[in-house]
Amino acid sequence: MTATPATFGSLTPPGSPPRKKNKAQEPSPSQDLPCINNYRGYVPPPGTTTVEAIDLPVFLSTHGERQAPLAFFRQYIAPRKPVLIRGTLPDQQWRAGTLWKDPKYLKSKAGKARVRVETRENTREEYGQGKETTMLFEEFVTEVVDKENQLLYLVGRD
């Protein structure tokens, strides 16, 4: 049996019109089709060794509060482009802006979770080469925050 990638026609970014469904492409509930994802990580343009950074309050004011989520989805999530987010949401009740900067808090909440991490040999090497390992999230935080290790990149789930 040849594996066929599953389609995700029902998933649309926030604010997008619903996609038209093609019944010929939709598997019936009785079919057992594996989900195949050959994504190997973001590949930056040649010669690029840094990740783009955005200032969240500026991004919100540039795109408008209602359009910012869709703009962020299109610019970073859909193309799986890494981005460093600086600043916090202007909601004072949303405490993540403070808590997520605290390595002890992060380790206490998710430290024992096993995560996938992409590795590089040096800072001149590009990410997206498929060199992955797993480690505990608390180990990742220790490496990146405490030891300032710039050779690791947390990989999202498939």
pLDDT of residue 71: 93
Q: Indicate whether 30 pLDDT > 80.
A: no
Residue 140 pLDDT: 94
Distant-in-sequence, close-in-space partners of 95: CB < 8 Å, separation ≥ 6: none
Residue 109 has pLDDT above 90, yes or no: yes
The least confident of 10-19, 65-74, 88-97, 142-151 is 10-19
Same domain, 128 and 79: no
**CA separation for the pair 61, 47 (Å, rounded):** 31
Average pLDDT for 132-151 = 91
Shared domain for 108 and 87, answered yes or no, is: no
42 pLDDT above the threshold of 80 = no
Q: Where are the beta strands (DSSP E) in 10-113?
A: 52-55, 83-86
**Are 107 and 97 within one domain?**
no
Answer yes or no: do 115 and 93 share one domain. no
* Among 136, 137, 138, 131, residue whose Cα is nearest residue 151: 131
CA–centroid distance for 55 within its chain: 17
Please say if the pLDDT value at position 157 is more than 70.
no
Structure confidence at residue 139 (pLDDT): 96
Among 80, 101, 122, give the residue marking a domain's end.
101
| Domain range for 138 | 103-158
Taking every pair of C-alpha atoms in the chain, what is the biggest distance, in angstroms?
54
Question: For the chain, what is the domain count?
Answer: 2
As a whole number, the mean pLDDT across the chain is 75
